[in-house]
């Protein structure tokens, strides 16, 4: 394997060359100031700004704590949230499960409602389009729709997929996924082969050109190299951002949270000089932009609360990435966990689907009624359509079946772990009736926990949202076992 190229812009074969993990240690030392997060938080509060993370699936809450998440975007609900006085909230759209025209229509409606609510309440907004750290999602369609309906007319669009908890790093303009001891360019990973959101470039400038069909050529994107961030600090970042015009893409290189803190302070300085920006980012940027402090992982007792529900726990696994399958296999190897499979082939057969669903529902309910721990999962053979939209339709059919099983529960489980972003979103909104929840924190790096609101079917249920691309092979089993053991 080749040695890492110097930071500052990928060239040659760097976007297709895996690097040893030690490449992170060869980068310039981070900017030395340590009070940056505090300064950001003070600025947010002094300005009265509300940071709104428009999240295309619920995994984006994986870096924050004590923050509300809304699953509704009616103007009255947005106004009520803005009047609560908080600095940050999430809006869950689940748009990654939609075809692009529907996702754009949703983004337009949401952006218009946000703009109207902000004017009504009199609070300025900083809107972030939070998406997947492995570059899957409706870009640039969603950000374009948001910019238009928010009446933002941004000078630049920041692209910041760095996400430390998930092992996602960007340097030399190339986005890497940490796998074991290797940094793999994102386009070489399983995520780039997504049937709907696949891509061929790891260099983010070239990725933008690819995703925009050439409308945004790679050479016309700006970049914030790590050398500039780490040696020039916020003021040098601001100087680059002040050059942006016409919604120009701006690649944010980052390999630690301090890099994002420097970028955000530079962003605030550029905004103070009249520049406007829309951000398309992973979860780490949201935390930093709102000045949210770090906190340790939640203990099992903190997740379950002072009065845990009786009975067994429930894990629902819909994600099909190989990592999720390995994690599910490890969970099913634990003693006492009852496997219940939804056979996707039968779900897609109109003659078999109804009887199969009835049988699965009966088995699932029976196990939980007896206080057993249950793993409900979709069959592991991935069935994809001929194209992206067909694959989405198959996914929607499977998700509807999962929702039906969760909605059919007569009693709440002790805890619920949902594996996969689309799966967890559909269960929350369509099966559990969640409209507002509180993000308690994380039970493992990148794995958020919600406490469901009183309007939901099972108020105060601990709801663990486990992204498909997070954790090692043992993480799911470790979380499930630790929660099942409390008070058992």
b vs e for 17-54, b when ≥16 Cβ sit within 10 Å of the residue's Cβ? Answer: bebeeebbeebbebbeeeebbebbbebbeeeebbbbbb
Write the Ramachandran bin of 141: left for phi over 0, alpha for psi from -120 to 50, otherwise beta.
alpha
C-alpha 262/C-alpha 249 separation (Å) is 18
Contact between 417 and 480 (Cβ < 8 Å) = yes
How far from the centroid of its chain's Cα atoms is residue 187's Cα? Answer: 19
Sign of dihedral through CA atoms 71, 75, 81, 87? positive
pLDDT by position in tens, the chain (length 488)? 333 334 544 444 689 899 999 999 999 999 999 999 999 999 999 999 999 999 998 888 999 999 999 999 999 999 999 999 999 999 999 898 888 999 999 999 999 999 999 999 999 999 999 999 999 999 999 999 999 999 889 999 999 999 998 899 999 999 999 999 999 999 999 899 988 899 999 999 999 999 999 999 999 999 999 999 999 999 999 999 999 999 999 999 999 999 999 999 999 999 999 999 999 999 999 999 999 999 999 999 999 988 888 889 999 987 677 788 899 999 999 999 999 999 888 888 888 989 999 999 999 999 999 999 999 998 877 666 555 666 667 777 888 889 999 999 988 899 999 998 788 888 999 999 999 999 999 999 999 999 999 999 999 999 999 987 788 999 999 999 999 998 66
Contact between 154 and 249 (Cβ < 8 Å) = no
Which residue reads 């696949």 in tokens? Answer: 198
Domains plus CATH for the chain?
14-289 (3.40.50.10840), 300-485 (3.40.980.20)
Phi–psi pair at 51, nearest 5 degrees: -85, 125
Which residue reads 């296999």 in tokens? Answer: 329
Contact between 204 and 40 (Cβ < 8 Å) = no
Pairing outcome for strands 50-55 and 125-130: parallel
């Amino acid at each position: 394997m080749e040695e890492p190229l110097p930071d500052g812009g990928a060239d040659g074969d760097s976007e297709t060359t895996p690097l040893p993990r030690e490449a992170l240690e060869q980068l310039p030392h981070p900017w030395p100031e340590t009070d940056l997060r505090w300064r950001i938080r003070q600025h947010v509060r002094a300005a009265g700004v509300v940071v709104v993370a428009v999240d295309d699936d619920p995994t984006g809450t994986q870096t924050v704590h004590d923050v509300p998440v809304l699953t509704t975007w009616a103007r009255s609900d947005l106004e009520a949230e803005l009047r609560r006085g908080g600095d940050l909230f999430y809006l869950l759209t689940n748009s990654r499960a939609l075809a692009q025209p529907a996702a754009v229509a949703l983004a337009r409606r949401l952006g218009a409602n946000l703009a109207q609510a902000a004017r009504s309440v009199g609070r300025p907004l900083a809107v972030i389009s939070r998406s997947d750290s492995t570059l899957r999602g409706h870009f640039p369609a969603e950000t374009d729709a948001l910019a238009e309906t928010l009446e933002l007319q941004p000078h630049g669009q920041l692209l910041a997929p760095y996400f430390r908890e998930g092992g996602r790093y960007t340097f030399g303009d190339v986005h890497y996924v940490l796998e074991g001891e290797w940094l793999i360019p994102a386009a070489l990973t399983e995520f780039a082969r997504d049937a709907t959101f696949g891509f061929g470039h790891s260099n983010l400038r070239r990725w933008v050109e690819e995703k925009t069909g050439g409308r945004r050529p790679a050479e016309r994107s700006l970049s914030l190299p790590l050398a500039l961030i780490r040696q020039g600090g916020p003021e040098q970042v601001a100087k680059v951002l002040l050059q942006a015009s016409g919604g120009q893409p701006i690649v944010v290189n980052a390999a630690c949270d301090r890099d994002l803190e420097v970028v955000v302070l530079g962003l605030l300085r550029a905004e103070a000089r009249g520049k406007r920006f829309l951000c398309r980012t992973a979860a780490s940027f949201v935390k930093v932009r709102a000045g949210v402090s770090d906190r340790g992982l939640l203990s099992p007792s903190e997740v379950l609360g002072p009065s845990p529900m009786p009975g067994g726990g429930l894990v629902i696994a819909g994600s099909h990435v190989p990592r999720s399958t390995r994690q599910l296999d490890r969970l099913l190897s634990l003693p006492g966990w009852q496997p219940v499979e939804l056979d996707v082939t039968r779900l897609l057969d109109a003659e078999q689907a109804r009887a199969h669903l009835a049988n699965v529902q009966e088995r699932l309910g029976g196990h939980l009624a007896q206080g057993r721990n249950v793993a409900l999962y979709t069959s592991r053979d991935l069935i994809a359509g001929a194209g992206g939209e067909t694959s989405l339709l198959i996914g929607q059919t499977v998700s509807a079946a999962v929702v039906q099983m969760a909605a059919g529960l007569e009693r709440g489980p002790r805890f619920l772990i949902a594996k996969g972003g689309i799966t967890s979103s559909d269960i929350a909104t369509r099966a559990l009736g969640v409209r507002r929840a509180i993000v308690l924190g994380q039970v493992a790096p990148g794995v958020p926990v919600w406490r469901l609101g009183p309007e939901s079917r099972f108020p105060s249920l601990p709801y663990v949202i486990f992204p498909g691309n997070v954790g090692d092979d043992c993480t799911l089993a470790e979380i499930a076992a630790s929660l099942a053991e409390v008070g058992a």
